[in-house]
Amino acid sequence: MPQGQPLVVPDDGLTTRQRRNRPLVIVHTGPGKGKSTAAFGIGMRGWNQGWRVGVFQFVKSAKWRVGEQSVLEILDEVHRETGKGGPVEWHKMGSGWSWSRKQGTEDDHAADAAEGWAEIARRLEREEHDLYILDEFTYPLKWGWVDVDEVVETLRNRPGRQHVVITGRDADPRLIEAADLVTEMTKVKHPMDAGQKGQRGIEW
Amino acid sequence: MPQGQPLVVPDDGLTTRQRRNRPLVIVHTGPGKGKSTAAFGIGMRGWNQGWRVGVFQFVKSAKWRVGEQSVLEILDEVHRETGKGGPVEWHKMGSGWSWSRKQGTEDDHAADAAEGWAEIARRLEREEHDLYILDEFTYPLKWGWVDVDEVVETLRNRPGRQHVVITGRDADPRLIEAADLVTEMTKVKHPMDAGQKGQRGIEW
């Protein structure tokens, strides 16, 4: 929580202010809980700063809905009504993305994932958001549905001041290398180990 | 994200429903980022379920303010105006707590922390919240300002269905033992290592 002081001041020709405002690539990985929750928490912080927040959930079911989606949609309304915070868009892969005309290609998750990334790359090029949350995006990378090198290249060359948060287990080493901030969530103890199923409010 | 199936069904005499709804003690510990952010994310989820959320920040400065505080205060307003979600209280230790009459005891953080815990114990007894977020509470435990055994005992005997989330580094083994869900956040890479200070929207 405290701001802290850097241990080393790098010889990168940047002023402290430039360095402080450098856009970040953040990765939450590992087998533990809290990867997505912490990412959506950054979404709240960004909203509070007036950032344009874009969430892209690479999940297979369109029905799945986490509490944060409801909350960030309410915050988007608050923004439109009062000017507080920033605008929020929440897109879910499910069976095709909301911006896509095609429907009912339930079985081609690979194509859906590739299309999702292509749209994100376009938005990065056009600087459409200040914060991108690519939830569970490590999986299409892992399964080869989206090319890791292309993602890393696009992230490295993105213009302006756009932050990108990526969540999911088994983040590719190239993605970790390209990231500025990487946290691994490790499971120490989980109630499912003691025979408890996930519960409302905690898991979603 | 998927609900998953438990590996083992315990012989605890509970139905699946009872077990599912069992109130949890959750600990986010470790040296990495995201402990508090993920806790406040659970706060969003709980709010969305209509839970009465109580946040207790064991921080020394009353000035420090994270974006989530602004957001959860807005959500509390939304609740009061529209009935959506639940009520939220956000209390910060700083120099004394908001419910306390005494002021200006800046130097006695130990007494402030003990008073904070005493109030939380009273609220647990009275079942005042459905979700308690005890942010950075591991530190007063570590420093001996609050007795770990008493905390564990109080958590074990709390009535009803009250969830408690505790964050901070170096969680005491007795606390971990008493918890249902423990995640350790491990730092893999941090921009402060590369000479970058914390930045708005990301760190607070």
- How far apart (Å, rounded) are the C-alpha atoms in residues B101 and B99? 7
Nearest alpha-carbon partner for A177 in A202, A148, A201: A148
- The closest CB to that of B67, out of A27, A49, A195, belongs to A49
Burial class (CB in 10 A: 0-12, 13-18, 19+), A155: buried
Residues forming beta bridges with residue B167, ordered by sequence position: B28
CB contact under 8 A, A186 and B21: no
- How far apart (Å, rounded) are the C-alpha atoms in residues B69 and A94? 32
- How far apart (Å, rounded) are the C-alpha atoms in residues A173 and A160? 25
pLDDT of residue B12: 60
Average pLDDT, chain A: 86
- How far apart (Å, rounded) are the C-alpha atoms in residues A156 and A160? 11
pLDDT(B123) > 60: yes
Burial class (CB in 10 A: 0-12, 13-18, 19+), A36: buried
CB contact under 8 A, B183 and A45: no
Total beta-carbon pairs less than 8 A apart between chain A and chain B: 260
Beta A163-167 vs B25-29: how paired, if at all?
unpaired
Taking CA atoms, B62 is separated from A4, A154, B57, B65, B97, in Å, by: 17, 41, 10, 8, 9
pLDDT(B144) > 50: yes
B30 in contact with chain A, both atoms CB, cutoff 8 A = yes
pLDDT of residue A18: 61
Mean pLDDT, range B32-58, rounded to an integer: 94
A44 in contact with chain B, both atoms CB, cutoff 8 A = yes
Six-digit token pair at B122? 């009273």
Whether residue B96 contacts residue B105, with contact meaning beta carbons closer than 8 Å, is answered with: yes
- For helices A67-82 and B35-48, what crossing angle results, to 10°? 80
3-state DSSP call for residue B173? Answer: helix
In the numeric block, the tokens 């530190």 are attached to B139
pLDDT of residue A1: 40
Residue B3 banded pLDDT, cuts 50, 70, 90: very low
pLDDT(B190) > 60: yes
For residue A34, list chain B residues with Cβ-Cβ distance below 8 A. Answer: 28, 34, 38, 41, 183, 185
B156 in contact with chain A, both atoms CB, cutoff 8 A = no
Residue B157 banded pLDDT, cuts 50, 70, 90: very high
Chain B residue closest in CA terms to A168: B1
pLDDT of residue B1: 40
Neighbouring residues of A11: CB distance < 8 A, sequence distance ≥ 6: none
CB contact under 8 A, B33 and A185: no
B42 in contact with chain A, both atoms CB, cutoff 8 A = yes
Question: Nearest 5°: phi and psi at A183?
Answer: -120, 135
Taking phi over 0 as left and psi of -120 to 50 as alpha, with beta for the rest, B201 belongs to left
Measured in residues, chain B has a length of 204
Per residue in A146-156, pLDDT tens?
999 999 999 99
B129 in contact with chain A, both atoms CB, cutoff 8 A = no
pLDDT of residue B44: 94
B51 in contact with chain A, both atoms CB, cutoff 8 A = yes
Chain A nearest-CA distance from B200, in A, is 8
| ipTM attached to this prediction | 0.79
Which of the listed ranges A11-25, B162-176, B180-194 does the model predict with the highest average pLDDT?
B162-176
For residue B204, list chain A residues with Cβ-Cβ distance below 8 A. Answer: 1, 45
Nearest alpha-carbon partner for B136 in B10, B48, B35, B64: B35
Nearest alpha-carbon partner for B58 in B6, B94, B31, B8: B94
CB contact under 8 A, A6 and B192: yes
Whether residue B72 contacts residue A41, with contact meaning beta carbons closer than 8 Å, is answered with: no
A87 in contact with chain B, both atoms CB, cutoff 8 A = no
- How far apart (Å, rounded) are the C-alpha atoms in residues A55 and A70? 12
pLDDT(A3) > 50: no
Domains, in order of start, for chain B: 21-168 (3.40.50.300)
Least confident range of A57-61, B16-20, B143-147: B16-20
- How far apart (Å, rounded) are the C-alpha atoms in residues B56 and A125? 41
- How far apart (Å, rounded) are the C-alpha atoms in residues B98 and A67? 29
Spatial strand order in the sheet of A181-189: A88-92, A53-57, A131-135, A163-167, A25-29, A181-189, B181-189, B25-29, B163-167, B131-135, B53-57, B88-92
Interface residue of A82, A183, A187 to substitute, partner B, most B CBs within 10 Å: A183
- How far apart (Å, rounded) are the C-alpha atoms in residues A71 and A67? 6
CB contact under 8 A, A201 and B66: no
Least confident range of A45-49, A96-100, B41-45, B62-66: B62-66
Per residue in A136-192, pLDDT tens?
999 999 999 999 999 999 999 999 999 999 999 999 999 999 999 999 999 887 665
For residue A64, list chain B residues with Cβ-Cβ distance below 8 A. Answer: 1
Mean pLDDT, range A38-43, rounded to an integer: 94
CB contact under 8 A, A183 and B187: yes
